[in-house]
Structure 1
């Protein structure tokens, strides 16, 4: 009887491969390998770039009268927290280390894991909406684009992210019989209409689908307004030159360059986050085959073959698209003149390193800051254009 039970157990796929990782290593090996190889690159970049970005954006020089610096500093902190948690996830899932495989820690980890994911996309939406106000409604900029308001918005978004993530503490639980962290049986009752399935679909589509789309809409409106202003300024200069009235050099290029930083960050989020969301939503188009099959039958089965191919492609896309949690630092450096100067000042200990002291001092003598709004500060800190925020 025992032998018959053993044979029966081994005939079921999940008895032969009790963990998801073991199953993928056998039938979709590219997925676990991608999870082991690609994320370490993002960890290396993010563990260096995000702390530097946070230190620069949240420094007094950058955040003074600059509400966007508050959002970007908070984004850097959020992304750093996510990378730390993702490292724990990879160690647990891909490498088999029991990082959070215990009672209480299972629930706490999944609760914490979703908070920075939600917060990052909400922060990008927040400063993109602020950019829309600054460019398209400049007369409201002094009232709405303030440092104090930015701090309040960051804390509100953090609280909202905590509320959305709280359901994960119920959905996940440690199962002693399987000695693993699994979905709570009560949360999985009902199959596709279970609390776990419905909550995951609703929150993922909202946070990782609709929010990036809203960011895209704001970006389009900002770009349209910038092109409209640029065309109007060009016609004004042309008219002034024809009539011999001069027409001095404007700060439009300087100000537009600052807007490029925020637009680049939000566009990067749109491309990466929407790509990962779309490929995740295709999951229902790839049904699994019969669980009671031999390995050879599974490899020959079209349903299983399609599913495992999809899982490999999905994992590769997901680990590549998570780069936005690590690589904003490069965008800041490429598009932000003042960010580069402040980063250099930070890395050279405020110019105290002798061989770089002259370079830092020379850069700081030439620099001039341009903020989103004066926020009660001196008007000399602000360029007189409709879309000013030199980073």
Structure 2
């Protein structure tokens, strides 16, 4: 499901070759699987990050907000998928505008929450002394609220530029004719603020983190963070049970780039072609590949829980406690050891 409704992305696939049938089957069965696994994983993640041991940390604010945003996107995706089951909610007034708006908003929020997570990792890894001042729960909550308000303002146009029209005997959710040019302009702006700018920032910070980790890699008997001041050590010790582990946060940011960038590149290519040769039709193979990349893109909203489990030791312990209803453990990790952050 693309945010854009520009011509080339709406081209239908005539005929039915074997590869097209495979792609259609993939869309039919992969999307609901992604949605329900994603909703379950995001719910578990939210419960863990809001737990007593983890909620008092700035990174948990962004990770909790990401779980909520991803779940909202998956629910809107499921409404679109229901058309496969002949339940055309997406093509009814009210549902149409709401789903398009949520798709725009959650795509915007997800990428900028990843920017915030990467920035926290960047500050912790490269400027640990500043983490005391910048990595604060109240500051994180304010940033999340600001991003939500900004997103609502930026994408509210979709509530009145989209609607349900009757075409070829069926009702379809689409852009109203009088707002086609406005929607195209909004799509170009959306590409800048959800692709070019945030992906550039994420890439820069990830490279800086990787360079820093390489330069400060530990030697036998020498802790990685022994250059950190006593105040920073105390700060890290107080927050060691949270998920601000450089390896895990880097995995979150890196996996997001890997899963979403191919689809965004296709989208950017379509926009460029629309500007240069708008009458050039998309090939059947190109559209099939685009749909496969969209499925990969959708998976980015559902797979984060697996990254938390694989790379987050404290997340695993909190999750097991949540599942088993185990008594509260007095210590999830070595609270006095700041090296946990640099696993």
User: Shorter-chain TM-score: which interval?
Assistant: 0.7 to 0.9
For the structure 1 residues 319 and 73, does the alpha-carbon distance in structure 2 shift closer, same or farther, using more than 3 Å as the test?
A: same
Matched, 1:79 2:44: no
The corresponding residue for 2:25 is 33
Structure 1 Cα separation of the partners of residues 321 and 242 of structure 2: 23
The corresponding residue for 2:292 is 316
Residue of 317, 321, 327 corresponding to 2:303: 327
Higher-Rg structure is 1
Structure 2 Cα separation of the partners of residues 132 and 76 of structure 1: 21
The corresponding residue for 2:229 is none
For the structure 1 residues 237 and 263, does the alpha-carbon distance in structure 2 shift closer, same or farther, using more than 3 Å as the test?
A: closer
Matched, 1:133 2:98: no
Residue of 332, 343, 347 corresponding to 2:323: 347
Structure 1 gap ranges (5+): 1-19, 189-193, 239-250, 290-302, 352-360, 371-379
Structure 1 Cα separation of the partners of residues 152 and 63 of structure 2: 19
Structure 2 gap ranges (5+): 1-9, 224-236
The corresponding residue for 2:143 is 153
- The correspondence of residues 140-289 of structure 1 with structure 2, limited to 5 A, is 140-176=130-166, 179-188=171-180, 194-230=181-217, 233-234=218-219, 237=222, 258-283=245-270, 285=273
Aligned Cα RMSD in Å? Answer: 3.1
Q: After TM superposition, give the deviation of residue 365 of structure 1 in Å.
A: 5.5
For the structure 1 residues 255 and 71, does the alpha-carbon distance in structure 2 shift closer, same or farther, using more than 3 Å as the test?
A: closer
Q: How many residues get paired?
A: 311
Structure 2 Cα separation of the partners of residues 184 and 256 of structure 1: 45
**How does the TM-score come out when normalised to structure 2?**
0.80
Paired residue secondary structure (2:163): strand
Task: Report Cα offsets for 1:86-139 as digits up to 9, x if no partner.
Answer: 0101113x4442213233332222112221111111101011112211221122
Structure 1 Cα separation of the partners of residues 175 and 283 of structure 2: 21
Moved over 4 A (4+): 20-31, 235-238, 254-257, 284-289
Q: After TM superposition, give the deviation of residue 321 of structure 1 in Å.
A: 2.6
Are the equivalent residues in 2 in contact too, given 1:208–1:273 (CA < 8 A)?
Answer: no
Are the equivalent residues in 2 in contact too, given 1:259–1:388 (CA < 8 A)?
Answer: yes
Q: After TM superposition, give the deviation of residue 41 of structure 1 in Å.
A: 2.4
For the structure 1 residues 384 and 348, does the alpha-carbon distance in structure 2 shift closer, same or farther, using more than 3 Å as the test?
A: closer
Matched, 1:57 2:42: no
Are the equivalent residues in 2 in contact too, given 1:21–1:32 (CA < 8 A)?
Answer: no
Q: After TM superposition, give the deviation of residue 350 of structure 1 in Å.
A: 2.8
Structure 2 Cα separation of the partners of residues 215 and 224 of structure 1: 14
Structure 1 Cα separation of the partners of residues 322 and 80 of structure 2: 32
Q: After TM superposition, give the deviation of residue 32 of structure 1 in Å.
A: 3.2
